């Protein structure tokens, strides 16, 4: 079966619909007991595990619509047989629609592979319908086996169907000693020193992150193989490549000796072709060995308690990442930036962060993604202290029907200032090398200098930012123009621009230092006080000003003077946005936005969009709120929810998503040119 390969060939804007469609097509019904049975197939040390509950999908989606989606992504093509009328019905394939489908991935230095396990309830019908091209393999431990033309390994028995696919590790052969062991030649246009350093860093990182009892592919016995016979015209000897000669002195140019780049490219192509041949044979050998180990149950599986946590109360789908460190290691660009900044090859997360869960759930037309991470004991205690503060109830009256969106975060400033110096000293000093003593001195000085209680009275840590539509900003400034004699003269100008109106507010029990700072700015002509509103200049008067007011125990900063004036002098605020208020009061952290207001907002701002975006923006009129929220620590986990209210044009949110997928997927789609080429035009 080559379903996954069909998805991997899709690129660009069509990749997401195909990928999501594949998940729906292979996910199956789920119960905790039967899920635990499949859980024993997941080897310990896996990087990622996915469980999909299609019972919910089937319950929410109409059967005809679901079958139409599967047909669009080519699912039924792998079951078509002239002797049986499948009628393009998922229920007729022999797959157990009340079972469980799981996918897991295992990344090692030499071999990266993933396996999908699908339950079947009618193995005879399943085998009769299955339409494949490839090579049968010997049966093993009750499993029939098959190798497809694109290298996927299939195995099935009376209860389950397994698809195994892998690739050789990208950096495994960067080590010259390992490459030489298999007859691979490392050649690159890049400087050898840079390539060696990169390979060594990646190898060190992989070794530090991976913690598994699974045997690595490199420990397997390697049988000699004459790779030169793979290609009839393979050269018997490859000359060493010398791209640049060392300069004898500063007057010698590397361009004095011309390089035959055509010959160089040809040599590189020949070497890479031979290397690829070796890697392909290695991949086949290693993947076959891996399948034999998996089907024989020779690898230890995930623990029972982990299986229970993985499969308990799954809604639509659940993704489990057993080690947060491996997830971080997979983010190569982020990892590189952090590691480079801290001058270390491995910014470890092992001490504070354990495993991670991502849950996809549905409630009527609302789709929710819940993310949670298990924390270590010390980090739990620290997080509870830092986020112990609740939102100021006075914030609620500023979340009105006029509010397009808001952001609220509540940090206990006193606890933050008290705990963070010790936390930094304990966890970050190892990254400062010889400056350890200086770093400890700085943290001690910071701890002594800070008066946590006094700072907490100025800014306790509760913050609210609200966006209330559009404001017209004007600013008068002085510019310079030059006459014919290049003499400058001052010219007063005014610029006007439309921008989203925002207000940032926070509690301040002791406002003296903030008020004094504002008054000093007024005395130095850097600010203006009028009607209780401070107008603070920016950029020597060339940038738009910000405005400041004091309202009871709140300090408010905004780019909209009219909004602040309304707050100061209007006794009856606008009607409250009840959903925003409820979300804010029940969360340690929250943010929300009225997605349906985006089209009007972009139009008012004068943002020009192309034809393809105009229809997309128009569709957003029917969407509800987009929200992000966190209740903080729940048990030993830090949880965060992301939710989007989809249009009510379908029976539920999932039905709407499937309809969107159907609109975006073209059956048997072939690449097309934007404009047809008429050869007669250039005759």
pLDDT confidence of residue 142: 92
pTM higher than 0.95 for the full model? no
Helix (H) or strand (E) holding 118: strand 111-119
Q: Which of 355, 336, 333, 354 is nearest to 346 (CA)?
A: 336
**Segment of 161-165, 169-173, 216-220, 248-252 carrying the highest mean pLDDT:** 161-165
pLDDT over 70 at 337, yes or no? no
pLDDT confidence of residue 661: 83
Least confident of 68-72, 215-219, 584-588, 600-604: 215-219
* Distance, CA of 349 to CA of 335 (rounded, Å): 11
Mean pLDDT of 437-443: 61
Residue 388 Cα to chain centre, angstroms: 28
pLDDT over 60 at 194, yes or no? no
pLDDT over 60 at 620, yes or no? yes
Mean pLDDT of 26-50: 65
Least confident of 166-180, 207-221, 317-331, 625-639: 207-221
Question: Under 8 Å CB-to-CB from 185, ≥6 apart: which residues?
Answer: 179, 238, 271, 274, 275
How many CA within 13 A on the CB side of residue 661? 27
Residue 469 pLDDT grade (very low, low, confident, very high; cuts 50, 70, 90):
confident
**For the residues of 205-271, what is the DSSP string, one character each?**
HHHHH----SPPGGGS------GGGGSTT--S--PPP---PPPSSTT--GGGS---HHHHHHHHHHH
Task: State the angle between helix axes of 598-605 and 611-619 in degrees (0 to 180), rounded to the nearest 10.
Answer: 140
* Distance, CA of 463 to CA of 457 (rounded, Å): 14
Quote the tokens at residue 328.
Answer: 């971080």
Residue 448 pLDDT grade (very low, low, confident, very high; cuts 50, 70, 90):
low
* Distance, CA of 119 to CA of 52 (rounded, Å): 12
pLDDT over 70 at 11, yes or no? no
Q: Cα–Cα distances in Å, from 452 out to 412, 413, 442, 457, 461?
A: 10, 7, 17, 9, 12
pLDDT over 50 at 532, yes or no? yes
Least confident of 201-205, 297-301, 616-620: 201-205
pLDDT over 60 at 389, yes or no? yes
SS3 236: coil
Q: Which of 481, 170, 142 is nearest to 296 (CA)?
A: 142
Model pLDDT for residues 150-174, shown as the tens digit of each residue = 899 999 998 889 999 999 987 888 8
Question: Under 8 Å CB-to-CB from 669, ≥6 apart: which residues?
Answer: 14
Q: Which residue has the higher pLDDT, 407 or 570?
A: 407
Model pLDDT for residues 544-563, shown as the tens digit of each residue = 889 999 998 999 999 999 99
pLDDT over 50 at 213, yes or no? no
Model pLDDT for residues 17-28, shown as the tens digit of each residue = 333 444 444 433
pLDDT over 70 at 234, yes or no? no
pLDDT confidence of residue 487: 83
Report the Cα–Cα distance between both ends of the chain, in Å, rounded.
Answer: 47
| Mean per-residue pLDDT over the chain, rounded | 75
Question: Could you identify the residue written with the tokens 């304990």?
Answer: 426
pLDDT over 60 at 187, yes or no? yes
pLDDT over 50 at 346, yes or no? no
Model pLDDT for residues 454-465, shown as the tens digit of each residue = 888 888 889 999
pLDDT confidence of residue 439: 60
* Distance, CA of 45 to CA of 328 (rounded, Å): 16
* Distance, CA of 427 to CA of 250 (rounded, Å): 48
Quote the tokens at residue 288.
Answer: 């076959």
Looking at 393-498, list the stretches that DSSP marks H as alpha helix, in order from N- to C-terminal side: 413-427, 436-449, 452-458
The answer to whether the CB of 68 falls within 8 A of the CB of 89 is no
Phi, psi torsion values for 315, nearest 5 degrees: -90, -100
- The residues that bridge with 550 in the sheet, in sequence order, are 555
Helix (H) or strand (E) holding 492: strand 488-507
SS3 651: coil
How many CA within 13 A on the CB side of residue 552? 8
Q: Which residue has the higher pLDDT, 485 or 286?
A: 286
- The residues that bridge with 470 in the sheet, in sequence order, are 500
Question: Could you identify the residue written with the tokens 């093993």?
Answer: 140
Cα–Cα–Cα angle for 532, 538, 542, rounded to 5 degrees: 120
Mean pLDDT of 597-605: 86
pLDDT confidence of residue 619: 83
């Amino acid at each position: 079966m080559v379903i996954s390969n069909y998805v991997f060939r899709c690129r660009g804007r069509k990749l997401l619909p195909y990928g999501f469609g594949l998940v729906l097509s292979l996910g199956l019904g789920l119960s905790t007991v039967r899920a635990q049975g499949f859980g024993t197939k997941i080897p310990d040390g896996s990087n990622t595990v996915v469980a999909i509950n299609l019972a919910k999908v089937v319950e929410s989606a109409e059967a005809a619509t679901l079958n139409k989606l599967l047909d669009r992504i080519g699912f039924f093509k792998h079951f078509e047989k002239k002797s049986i009328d499948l009628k393009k019905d998922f229920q007729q394939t022999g797959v157990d629609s009340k079972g469980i489908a799981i996918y897991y991935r295992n990344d090692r230095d030499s071999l990266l592979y993933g396996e999908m396990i699908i339950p079947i309830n009618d193995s005879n019908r399943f085998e009769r319908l299955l339409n494949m091209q490839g090579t049968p393999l010997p049966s093993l431990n009750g499993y029939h086996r098959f190798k497809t033309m694109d290298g996927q390994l299939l195995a099935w028995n009376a209860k389950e169907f397994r698809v195994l696919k892998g690739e050789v590790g990208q950096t495994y052969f960067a080590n010259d000693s390992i490459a030489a062991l298999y007859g691979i030649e490392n050649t690159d246009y890049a400087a050898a020193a840079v390539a060696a350093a990169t390979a060594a860093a990646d190898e060190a990182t992989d070794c530090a992150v991976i913690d598994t009892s699974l045997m690595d592919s490199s420990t397997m016995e390697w049988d000699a193989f004459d790779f030169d016979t793979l290609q009839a015209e393979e050269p018997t000897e490859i000359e060493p490549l010398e791209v640049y000669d060392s300069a004898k002195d500063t007057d010698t140019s590397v361009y004095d000796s011309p390089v035959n780049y055509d010959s160089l490219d040809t040599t590189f192509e020949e070497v890479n072709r031979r290397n690829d041949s070796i890697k392909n044979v290695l991949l086949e050998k290693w993947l076959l060995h891996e399948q034999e180990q998996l089907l024989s149950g020779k690898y230890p599986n995930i623990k029972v308690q982990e299986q229970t946590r993985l499969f308990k109360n799954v809604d639509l789908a659940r993704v489990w990442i057993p080690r947060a460190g491996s997830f971080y290691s997979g983010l190569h660009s982020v990892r590189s930036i952090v590691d480079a900044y801290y001058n270390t090859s491995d910014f470890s997360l092992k001490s504070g962060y354990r495993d991670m869960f991502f849950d996809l759930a549905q409630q009527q037309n609302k789709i929710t993604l819940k993310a949670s991470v298990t924390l270590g004991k010390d980090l739990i205690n620290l997080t509870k202290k830092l986020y112990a503060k609740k939102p100021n109830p006075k914030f609620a009256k500023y979340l009105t029907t006029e509010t397009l969106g808001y952001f609220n975060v509540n940090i206990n400033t006193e606890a933050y200032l008290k705990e963070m110096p010790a936390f930094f000293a304990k966890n970050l000093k190892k990254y400062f090398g010889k400056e350890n003593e200086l770093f400890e001195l700085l943290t001690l000085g910071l701890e002594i200098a800070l008066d946590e209680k006094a700072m907490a009275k100025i800014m306790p840590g509760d913050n609210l930012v609200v966006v209330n539509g559009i404001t017209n900003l004007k600013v008068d400034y002085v510019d310079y123009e030059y006459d014919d004699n290049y003499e400058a003269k001052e010219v007063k100008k005014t610029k006007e621009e439309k921008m989203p109106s925002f207000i940032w507010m926070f509690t301040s029990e002791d406002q003296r230092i903030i008020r004094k700072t504002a008054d000093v700015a007024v005395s130095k002509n850097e600010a203006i006080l009028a009607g209780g509103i401070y107008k603070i200049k920016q950029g020597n008067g060339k940038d738009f000003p910000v405005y400041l007011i004091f309202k009871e125990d709140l300090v408010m900063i905004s780019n909209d003077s009219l909004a602040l004036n309304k707050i100061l002098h209007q006794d009856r605020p606008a009607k409250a946005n009840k959903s925003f208020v409820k979300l804010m009061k029940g969360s340690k952290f929250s943010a929300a936005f009225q997605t349906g207001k985006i089209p009007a907002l972009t139009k008012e701002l004068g943002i020009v969009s192309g034809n393809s975006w105009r229809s997309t923006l128009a569709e957003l009129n029917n969407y509800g709120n987009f929200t992000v929220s966190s209740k903080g620590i729940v048990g030993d986990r830090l949880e965060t929810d992301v939710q989007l209210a989809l249009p009510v044009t379908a029976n539920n949110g999932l039905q709407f998503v499937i309809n969107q997928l159907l609109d975006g997927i073209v059956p048997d789609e072939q690449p097309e040119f934007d404009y047809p080429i008429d050869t007669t035009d250039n005759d």
